[in-house]
Amino acid sequence: MTRDAPVLEVSNLVKQFDISGPFATSRQVVHAVDGVSLQVSRRETLAIVGESGCGKSTLGRLIMRLIEPTSGNIHLDGEELTGIRGRALVPYRRKLQMVFQDPFGSLNPRMTVQETLGDLLRIHGLASRGTMKQAVGDLLEMVGLPPAHATRYPHEFSGGQRQRIGIARALAVKPSVIVCDEAVSALDVSVQAQIVNLLQDIKDKLGLSYLFISHDLMVVRHMADRVAIMYLGRVVETGTTEEIFSRPRHPYTRALLDVVPIPGATTRNKRAVLKGDIPSPLNPPSGCHFHPRCAFAIDRCAAEKPSLERAGLTDVACHRWKEIPDWSDPTPPPLAEGSRLQRLQERYVAGAGASMQEER
């Protein structure tokens, strides 16, 4: 296998939900995921970004095989997953794990951490009775929790600690890909920073790949190697993080980047705030789904569905990407090297690191 062979490859994945009730006169179908293709390479973080209703969570659940796709293929390490069902999936579940948004809802409140993680190790045959305690302790250590916490119940932990347990559970089976569905979204900023750092440390240490599903563009910019932007079930633009954030081609990507709230002393005045809401996925607009909200839309956009095409270093699904004007990045430049705040933060991190070592 070459180094660049994707560990996870999704092609033309489609998921339609039939929501017509028993007495419906016509069939009503939600196109939650509408022909999505993507690849995740080894040691790579691919972020899926979009607003609510864009299908990013459905995509994550499809890849996890928690729901059945309507059509399309999922390849993990070169093996086709969509045909496999039931028990036969167990070996693949070991390679593919998930971290959820709500760590409390995804932990059994009646089981101690030892039991939750122990069960998992036992089911996958990764530890015996004798080595169980040590194995759980090692896992907790890896996510920055004292091994002594293994005897506690989920309610005894704070939100950030619970998310660490959620990560430990995903790591328990030594997966090669972890799907993080809004894994840091519900956390306070300071805790979020801890978990983001933890996820990065783990990735560097274990050589994992992440499929990082998030609506938070700042976190995505910080964590991801590549980004795919979704709108109403389709990927509208994908490319390297650097390229997407500095030279976005799709009007929707630009609209998202224009409104990311960024703390700073200077208020950005050149904000193009998108009008209207995301249309209902029950009855999406014709052609390009984004055309009713797009400032550059022409007749063709309403008539013809654009497909992803190569545009410099990104792939973009827009009929007019060549014609629309250049975009200037509204985000303030990073803190100048040697500025007071930059030096203060450096001192802050250095000080925090030193005192953390003392604690240990």
- Residues of this chain that bind another protein (CB under 8 A): 51-52, 158, 160, 188-194, 196-197, 200, 215, 217-219, 221-223, 245, 255-256, 258-267, 271, 273-278, 331, 334-335, 340-341, 343-345, 347-352, 354-356
Name the residue nearer to another protein (CB basis): 83 or 276: 276
Name the residue nearer to another protein (CB basis): 9 or 237: 237
Query: Could you give the 3-state DSSP secondary structure of residue 78?
Result: coil
Name the residue nearer to another protein (CB basis): 80 or 188: 188
Name the residue nearer to another protein (CB basis): 94 or 291: 291
Smallest separation, CB 32 to another protein (Å): 17
Smallest separation, CB 155 to another protein (Å): 15
What is the rounded radius of gyration, in angstroms, for the C-alpha atoms of the chain? Answer: 22
Smallest separation, CB 357 to another protein (Å): 11
Phi, psi of 34 (to 5 degrees): -125, 75
Q: Which of 36, 162, 50 is nearest to 101 (CA)?
A: 162
Query: How many angstroms separate the CA atoms of 239 and 314, rounded?
Result: 4
Phi, psi of 133 (to 5 degrees): -60, -45
Query: How many angstroms separate the CA atoms of 335 and 332, rounded?
Result: 8
How many CA within 13 A on the CB side of residue 11?
9
Phi, psi of 336 (to 5 degrees): -65, 140
The residues pairing with 354 across neighbouring beta strands, listed in sequence order, are none
Name the residue nearer to another protein (CB basis): 8 or 245: 245
Smallest separation, CB 219 to another protein (Å): 5
**N-terminal to C-terminal alpha carbon distance within the chain:** 41
Total residue length of the chain: 360
Name the residue nearer to another protein (CB basis): 94 or 226: 226
State the residue for tokens 């086709």: 80
Smallest separation, CB 84 to another protein (Å): 35
Contact call for residues 15 and 67 (beta carbons, < 8 A): yes
Smallest separation, CB 188 to another protein (Å): 4
Smallest separation, CB 254 to another protein (Å): 11
Name the residue nearer to another protein (CB basis): 70 or 200: 200
